[in-house]
Amino acid sequence: MSMRVVFLAPSYPPEMIEYTRGLAEIGAQVYGVGDTPREALPPRVKPYLYDYLQVPRIMDEEDVMNRVTAWLKSRGITTVDRVLSNWEPLVILAARLRERWGMPGMSVDTVRGFRDKQLMKERVAAAGLRVPRSKRVRTERETRAAAEEIGYPLVLKPIAGAGSADTHKVDDAGELDAILAQMRGVTEASCEEYVTGEEFTFDTVCIDGKPAYENVAQYLPKPLEMRTLEWVSPVIITVRDMQQPKLAAGIELGRKVLSALGMGDGFTHMEWFLTPKGEAVFGEIGCRPGGAHIVDQMNYTGDIDLFREWARVVCHRRFEASTARKYNAGIVFKRAQGRGRITRIEGLGDFLRECGDCVVEERLLRPGTPRRNWKHTLLSDGHVLVRHPDWDEAYRMSFLAATKIRMYAE
């Protein structure tokens, strides 16, 4: 008999459609739950859903739990096999449903360790691993006291944030005052040491906390700079050669973090720093896949389908794809200069003529399309994705796209 899987938010964010597809392709019956009206579901996701429940507010955990329980009961379903979510804001809800129904999977307490940034660092530090010095803060007074204790520069970020939204580097007390005014809607934050160095990811698909698949990608520049400098074209490049000595400490750190936090089955996305002295320092981790097309990058790195492999892992605890790495895959996010609608793109034709064989995706917004708010989404105004077996060449092409392609809006 097919596995019954309750999957929260099967069509939002849009990449969740691919995970829904993965579940359906390995034979699961997918019971989708979301606040998108059934008639507004993207046509692509509908064939992969066995059934769907629209709830009024997907973030209202008690209400969603009661509605889903009643919905399944009304259909004569007494047991489901998995409750899953790959979207950061819903991972606790998925764990609460598992606990309510007495199902396998990570507990609420375990998942909270991946969601609450201060608790996360405390648990990782308790395992003897290097984390930035930090304090949980709830008021402006607490924040100023923590800043004095930790020292400048520091980083201020929401306790339960995702990506680098509402995350600020603070260089001095004057800057802190201005940033506190911007963060008045944030109820709880982490005030932490700013770590100097290069920033990388450590991504996995785990079976019982042990990576069946591992990936490292480098952020160029660091995400904090990507999010504060509008003129930057953010670049992320997956690393083909995972065996190089430079990465060994970060990969070892990542594996130990998974153990310290009690990871179960599924995706993880971790960020870590490599200091000028060669020390690997933990940044943060989620028990879900990274956003900003990083799973697409990993797929291009090895010519595999991690959406399907994730589904196989969480349902059957097997990973069947090759873990051989063929390419370094670089994604470049472009931001148009100006405001309003995209008016023109310059340099794209020359770039495609030079690098065309290595360009696997070109999804820049076309003239006439409204600019996206670059502060709200790393995806910005579209992307170019290249790949090459040689790191230097992948790097060169990525930065060629970053510097030579120009987009304008007015």
How far apart CA 4 and CA 282 sit, in angstroms, is 36
Confidence bin at 2 (pLDDT 50/70/90): confident
Using one digit for the tens of pLDDT, what is the confidence trace for 115-133?
A: 998 899 999 999 999 999 9
Beta bridge partners of 407: 345
User: In sequence order, what are the residues at sequence separation of 6 or more whose Cβ sits closer than 8 angstroms to the Cβ of residue 10?
Assistant: 16, 17, 19, 20, 30, 32, 33, 34, 45, 48, 49, 52
Tens digit of each residue's pLDDT (9 = 90 or more) over 357-376:
999 999 999 999 999 988 78
- Tell me what the mean pLDDT of segment 295-319 comes to: 98
Q: What is the DSSP string of 34-66?
A: ESS-GGGS-TTTGGG-SEEEE-S-TT-HHHHHH
pLDDT, one tens digit per residue, over 338-356 is 999 999 999 999 999 999 9
pLDDT averaged over the chain?
94
- The reported pTM is 0.92
CA distance 269 to 29: 26
Q: pLDDT digits over 136-160, tens only?
A: 898 888 998 999 899 999 998 887 7
According to DSSP, the β-strands at 210-215 and 189-193 are unpaired
Is 163 a residue whose pLDDT tops 60? no
User: Residue 115: its pLDDT value, please?
Assistant: 95
CA 4 to chain centre: 26
What is the secondary structure of 306-351 as a DSSP string? Answer: HHHHHHHHHHHS---S------EEEEEE---BSSSBEEEEESHHHH
Using the predicted structure, report yes or no on whether residue 165 has a pLDDT greater than 80: no
Mean pLDDT of 290-298: 96
Confidence at residue 25, expressed as pLDDT on a 0 to 100 scale: 98
pLDDT tens sequence across 389-406: 999 999 999 999 999 999
Q: For 112-129, b where at least 16 C-beta lie within 10 A, e where not — what string?
A: bbbbbbbbbbebbbeeeb
Model confidence pLDDT, tens digit, residues 85-94:
999 999 999 9
